[in-house]
Amino acid sequence: MTSCVAPVFNPFTLTLVQLGSTGSDKAANLQHAHEMVMKAAKSGSGTKPQVIVLPECFNSPYGYVHFPTYAENIGYTPGEEYDIQTSVSESVKMLSSAAKEAGVWLVGGSIPERDEETNKVYNTCTVYSPTGALVALHRKVHLFDIDIPGKITFKVRHFYPALALPALIVSAGERDAHWRRYNKLFRHWYEPRRLIALHSIKHSPEFARIGLGICYDVRFQELAMISARQGCHVVVYPGAFNLTTGPLHWELLQRARAVDNQIFFSMCSPARDMTAGYHAWGHSMVVDPYGKVLVEADESEMIVHANIDPEPLQSVRAGIPVTKQRRFDVYPNVSAGK
């Protein structure tokens, strides 16, 4: 097997903020998110969390019609220092301030991001160190385009073509195999500094290696596989499943990704608001490498804490050593994320 050597993995507390009260007033949304991060940093059973996570699209109502209006320019280049003071993004400034004030690593959910050069809109997560530094950025890989008759239809690209995927178009001449095409996408967009992989950032957590995706990305196991093969102990996905896909697959997919990759897996949802245009499932949770749900929210606004202990990861990998039993002579190795 080819994979990165994992760094030290020490116990830490992972906290999910299942945020409610997200309306049309962006300033109010940001203020509420800041208040909830501060509350999360002080709540729990006596141990201050090291990592706090916000949900997907926390600064705007959820829906393709809202994303262009609420989109912000971030202008971050992975691996380079970012000047928070000169940033034009209100959300970035708030998240930086919250991380610094709380003294935590903050996975800033996601916001609509507008690329200043291309004018394309992305669903983007930013990550901040306890000093408030912006240290990583991840753009959602897979757009949420589904159609379940009689239940829900959500076709992002039909309604807003400028919404974009961070991917290359591969020419016909390069189509030698499906997995090779897939790997070519990852080579360009998901080198470690682009993926989140906090291990590759100058200011990285000393307690664990953490990977990231966003919502619909969870249905594509390759992304979690790459994170795990590159040594991630924990993978976090801000997400917003609905009342159709939530009861069907929200827990199932998280447990599958955790068991398949022998990692801790977590998704953080908005709270459910039946007066909104999009009804989120809620039920933010953390799953251990055995597939056991450690903590789970209900559908309301709430904060949940999970104590991440390395022991389950170590014991499951020792007892069921699939990492040493893979057959790359039979199927491709996605470890490098090429």
pLDDT in tens, 57-74: 999 999 878 988 999 999
Q: What is the pLDDT of residues 20-79, one digit of tens each?
A: 989 999 999 999 999 999 999 998 667 899 999 999 999 999 987 898 899 999 999 877
When pLDDT is cut at 50, 70 and 90, the band that residue 120 belongs to is: confident
Separation CA 239–CA 22 (nearest Å): 15
Separation CA 37–CA 28 (nearest Å): 14
Residue 101 in any domain: the answer is yes
Residue 1 in any domain: the answer is no
Q: Tell me the pTM.
A: 0.84
The single residue listed with the structure tokens 């993978």 is 235
Residue 188 in any domain: the answer is yes
* Residue 19: pLDDT over 90: yes
Q: What is the pLDDT of residues 168-216, one digit of tens each?
A: 333 333 333 433 333 333 222 223 233 344 433 445 688 999 999 999 9
- Whether residue 212 contacts residue 235, with contact meaning beta carbons closer than 8 Å, is answered with yes
Residue 337 in any domain: the answer is no
pLDDT of res. 8:
85
134 lies in which domain range?
Answer: 12-324
- Whether residue 249 contacts residue 235, with contact meaning beta carbons closer than 8 Å, is answered with no
- Whether residue 26 contacts residue 90, with contact meaning beta carbons closer than 8 Å, is answered with yes
Rounded to 5°, the CA angle 267-110-273 comes to 70
pLDDT of res. 224:
94
When pLDDT is cut at 50, 70 and 90, the band that residue 159 belongs to is: very low
- Comparing 311 with 147, the larger pLDDT belongs to 311
pLDDT of res. 143:
72
- Whether residue 218 contacts residue 26, with contact meaning beta carbons closer than 8 Å, is answered with no
From the list 26, 56, 72, 222, the catalytic residue is: 56
Q: What is the pLDDT of residues 213-254, one digit of tens each?
A: 999 999 999 999 999 998 899 999 999 999 999 999 999 999
Q: How many domains does the chain have?
A: 1
**Catalytic annotation present for 140:** yes
Residue 244 in any domain: the answer is yes
Residue 256 in any domain: the answer is yes
From the list 72, 140, 232, 338, the catalytic residue is: 140
Residue 335 in any domain: the answer is no
pLDDT of res. 127:
95
Separation CA 126–CA 95 (nearest Å): 9
CATH number at residue 221: 3.60.110.10
pLDDT of res. 162:
44
From the list 215, 251, 299, 301, the catalytic residue is: 215
**Catalytic annotation present for 56:** yes
Q: What is the pLDDT of residues 254-307, one digit of tens each?
A: 999 999 999 999 999 999 999 999 999 999 999 999 999 999 999 999 999 999
pLDDT of res. 148:
59
- CA nearest 51: which of 135, 117, 122? 135
**Catalytic annotation present for 125:** no
Q: What is the token pair recorded at 327?
A: 């057959």
- Whether residue 142 contacts residue 165, with contact meaning beta carbons closer than 8 Å, is answered with yes
Q: What percent of the chain has a predicted confidence (pLDDT) above 70?
A: 78
Residue 6 in any domain: the answer is no
